[in-house]
Structure 1
Amino acid sequence: MVTGLEILLLALVLAAIVGASRVIQAVRPFIVNAIVGLVVLFLAQAVFDISVAITPIALLIVAIGGLPGSILVILLSILEIAFV
Protein backbone atom coordinates (compact mmCIF):
# COMPACT_ATOMS: atom_id res chain seq x y z
CA MET A 1 0.00 0.00 0.00
CA VAL A 2 1.15 3.50 -0.79
CA THR A 3 1.00 5.81 2.16
CA GLY A 4 0.46 9.54 2.24
CA LEU A 5 4.06 10.08 3.39
CA GLU A 6 5.42 8.26 0.35
CA ILE A 7 3.29 10.35 -1.98
CA LEU A 8 4.46 13.52 -0.22
CA LEU A 9 8.12 12.47 -0.52
CA LEU A 10 7.64 11.65 -4.21
CA ALA A 11 6.06 15.08 -4.80
CA LEU A 12 8.94 16.79 -2.98
CA VAL A 13 11.55 14.89 -5.01
CA LEU A 14 9.79 15.75 -8.27
CA ALA A 15 9.58 19.42 -7.26
CA ALA A 16 13.31 19.42 -6.42
CA ILE A 17 14.17 17.86 -9.79
CA VAL A 18 12.04 20.38 -11.70
CA GLY A 19 13.54 23.25 -9.70
CA ALA A 20 17.08 22.03 -10.28
CA SER A 21 16.51 21.67 -14.01
CA ARG A 22 15.16 25.23 -14.22
CA VAL A 23 18.19 26.56 -12.34
CA ILE A 24 20.52 24.69 -14.67
CA GLN A 25 18.67 26.03 -17.73
CA ALA A 26 18.98 29.58 -16.38
CA VAL A 27 22.69 29.26 -15.58
CA ARG A 28 23.73 27.37 -18.73
CA PRO A 29 24.28 30.49 -20.93
CA PHE A 30 26.55 32.00 -18.29
CA ILE A 31 28.56 28.78 -18.08
CA VAL A 32 28.97 28.66 -21.87
CA ASN A 33 29.95 32.35 -21.96
CA ALA A 34 32.46 31.82 -19.15
CA ILE A 35 34.05 28.85 -20.92
CA VAL A 36 34.30 30.67 -24.27
CA GLY A 37 35.66 33.79 -22.57
CA LEU A 38 38.23 31.84 -20.58
CA VAL A 39 39.39 30.08 -23.74
CA VAL A 40 39.83 33.47 -25.39
CA LEU A 41 41.75 34.77 -22.35
CA PHE A 42 43.94 31.65 -22.36
CA LEU A 43 44.65 32.01 -26.08
CA ALA A 44 45.48 35.69 -25.59
CA GLN A 45 47.97 34.73 -22.90
CA ALA A 46 49.45 31.81 -24.86
CA VAL A 47 49.59 33.29 -28.36
CA PHE A 48 50.07 37.02 -27.76
CA ASP A 49 51.82 36.78 -24.37
CA ILE A 50 49.32 39.12 -22.71
CA SER A 51 49.15 38.74 -18.95
CA VAL A 52 45.59 38.98 -17.66
CA ALA A 53 44.81 38.45 -13.99
CA ILE A 54 41.88 36.06 -13.66
CA THR A 55 39.92 37.53 -10.76
CA PRO A 56 36.32 36.92 -9.70
CA ILE A 57 35.34 40.27 -11.26
CA ALA A 58 37.03 39.31 -14.54
CA LEU A 59 35.16 36.00 -14.48
CA LEU A 60 31.88 37.82 -13.85
CA ILE A 61 32.50 40.19 -16.77
CA VAL A 62 33.43 37.28 -19.04
CA ALA A 63 30.46 35.15 -17.89
CA ILE A 64 27.95 37.91 -18.53
CA GLY A 65 29.59 39.40 -21.61
CA GLY A 66 30.98 36.31 -23.30
CA LEU A 67 33.38 37.08 -26.14
CA PRO A 68 32.91 40.89 -25.96
CA GLY A 69 33.45 40.69 -22.20
CA SER A 70 36.72 38.83 -22.63
CA ILE A 71 37.87 41.37 -25.22
CA LEU A 72 37.01 44.13 -22.74
CA VAL A 73 39.04 42.42 -20.02
CA ILE A 74 41.99 42.00 -22.41
CA LEU A 75 41.83 45.65 -23.46
CA LEU A 76 41.67 46.80 -19.85
CA SER A 77 44.69 44.64 -19.10
CA ILE A 78 46.66 45.94 -22.10
CA LEU A 79 45.88 49.54 -21.15
CA GLU A 80 46.85 48.70 -17.53
CA ILE A 81 43.56 50.01 -16.21
CA ALA A 82 42.52 46.77 -14.51
CA PHE A 83 43.35 43.05 -14.38
CA VAL A 84 47.09 43.67 -14.48
Structure 2
Amino acid sequence: MVTPVEIGLFVLVLALLFGAYRVIKAVKPFIVNAVVGVIILFVASFLGVPIEITAVAVLVCAVGGVPGAILVIALAYLDIAFVGTMAPLLV
Protein backbone atom coordinates (compact mmCIF):
# COMPACT_ATOMS: atom_id res chain seq x y z
CA MET A 1 0.00 0.00 0.00
CA VAL A 2 1.22 3.47 -0.90
CA THR A 3 1.41 5.90 1.99
CA PRO A 4 0.78 9.64 1.79
CA VAL A 5 4.45 10.28 2.67
CA GLU A 6 5.58 8.30 -0.39
CA ILE A 7 3.14 10.17 -2.62
CA GLY A 8 4.38 13.49 -1.21
CA LEU A 9 8.01 12.55 -1.80
CA PHE A 10 7.19 11.44 -5.34
CA VAL A 11 5.47 14.75 -6.10
CA LEU A 12 8.40 16.66 -4.54
CA VAL A 13 10.95 14.77 -6.66
CA LEU A 14 8.91 15.39 -9.81
CA ALA A 15 8.70 19.09 -8.99
CA LEU A 16 12.48 19.27 -8.42
CA LEU A 17 13.19 17.46 -11.69
CA PHE A 18 10.86 19.76 -13.60
CA GLY A 19 12.48 22.82 -12.00
CA ALA A 20 15.99 21.58 -12.79
CA TYR A 21 14.98 20.96 -16.40
CA ARG A 22 13.63 24.49 -16.73
CA VAL A 23 16.79 26.02 -15.23
CA ILE A 24 19.10 24.01 -17.49
CA LYS A 25 16.98 24.86 -20.52
CA ALA A 26 17.20 28.58 -19.69
CA VAL A 27 20.94 28.61 -18.93
CA LYS A 28 22.11 26.44 -21.86
CA PRO A 29 22.38 29.28 -24.45
CA PHE A 30 24.50 31.33 -22.04
CA ILE A 31 26.86 28.41 -21.43
CA VAL A 32 27.26 27.79 -25.16
CA ASN A 33 27.90 31.50 -25.79
CA ALA A 34 30.52 31.62 -23.03
CA VAL A 35 32.36 28.55 -24.33
CA VAL A 36 32.37 29.91 -27.89
CA GLY A 37 33.68 33.28 -26.63
CA VAL A 38 36.58 31.68 -24.77
CA ILE A 39 37.39 29.49 -27.80
CA ILE A 40 37.44 32.61 -30.02
CA LEU A 41 39.85 34.27 -27.57
CA PHE A 42 42.28 31.34 -27.68
CA VAL A 43 42.04 31.01 -31.47
CA ALA A 44 42.76 34.72 -31.92
CA SER A 45 45.74 34.42 -29.60
CA PHE A 46 46.97 31.39 -31.55
CA LEU A 47 46.62 33.26 -34.85
CA GLY A 48 48.92 36.02 -33.69
CA VAL A 49 46.71 38.75 -32.24
CA PRO A 50 48.79 40.10 -29.35
CA ILE A 51 46.32 39.30 -26.58
CA GLU A 52 47.57 38.63 -23.09
CA ILE A 53 45.31 35.89 -21.79
CA THR A 54 44.64 36.79 -18.18
CA ALA A 55 41.89 35.86 -15.77
CA VAL A 56 40.13 39.16 -16.54
CA ALA A 57 40.20 38.58 -20.30
CA VAL A 58 38.85 35.04 -19.90
CA LEU A 59 36.19 36.30 -17.49
CA VAL A 60 35.09 38.99 -19.96
CA CYS A 61 34.84 36.36 -22.68
CA ALA A 62 33.03 33.90 -20.42
CA VAL A 63 30.45 36.47 -19.30
CA GLY A 64 30.16 38.34 -22.59
CA GLY A 65 30.49 35.37 -24.93
CA VAL A 66 31.16 36.23 -28.56
CA PRO A 67 30.65 40.01 -28.11
CA GLY A 68 33.01 39.88 -25.11
CA ALA A 69 35.65 38.10 -27.18
CA ILE A 70 35.29 40.68 -29.96
CA LEU A 71 35.64 43.45 -27.36
CA VAL A 72 38.81 41.92 -25.90
CA ILE A 73 40.30 41.42 -29.37
CA ALA A 74 39.44 44.99 -30.40
CA LEU A 75 40.91 46.47 -27.22
CA ALA A 76 44.09 44.42 -27.63
CA TYR A 77 44.39 45.32 -31.30
CA LEU A 78 44.01 49.03 -30.51
CA ASP A 79 46.59 48.77 -27.68
CA ILE A 80 44.08 49.91 -25.08
CA ALA A 81 43.85 46.85 -22.83
CA PHE A 82 44.72 43.13 -22.79
CA VAL A 83 47.85 43.83 -24.83
CA GLY A 84 50.38 41.03 -24.88
CA THR A 85 54.00 41.76 -24.32
CA MET A 86 56.09 41.78 -27.45
CA ALA A 87 59.78 40.87 -27.50
CA PRO A 88 61.95 43.79 -28.57
CA LEU A 89 63.50 43.45 -31.98
CA LEU A 90 67.27 43.48 -32.17
CA VAL A 91 68.57 45.83 -34.81
What TM-score does the superposition give when structure 2 sets the normalisation length?
0.73
Give the unaligned 5+ runs of structure 2: 84-91
Question: Structure 2 matches for 1:51-70, cutoff 5 A?
Answer: 51-55=51-55, 58-59=58-59, 61-63=60-62, 65-70=64-69
Q: How does 1:1-80 map to 2 (within 5 A)?
A: 1-55=1-55, 58-59=58-59, 61-63=60-62, 65-80=64-79
Counterpart residue number, 2:86: none
Distance 1:6 1:83 in 2: 57
Can you give the 5+ residue segments of structure 1 that lack an aligned partner in the other structure? none
With structure 1 as the length reference, what TM-score do the two structures score? 0.78
Percentage of identical aligned residues: 53
C-alpha contact (below 8 Å) 2:40/2:66 kept by paired residues: yes
Q: Distance in 2 between matches of 1:74 and 1:4?
A: 60
The CA deviation at 1:69 is: 2.3
Higher helix proportion: 1
Deviations 1:46-72 (A, max 9, x none): 11142243436753x434543222111
* Cα deviation 1:20-63 (Å, max 9, x = unaligned): 1111011101111011111100101111142243436753x434
Aligned length: 83
Q: Looking at CA atoms only, which structure, 1 or 2, has the larger radius of gyration? A: 2
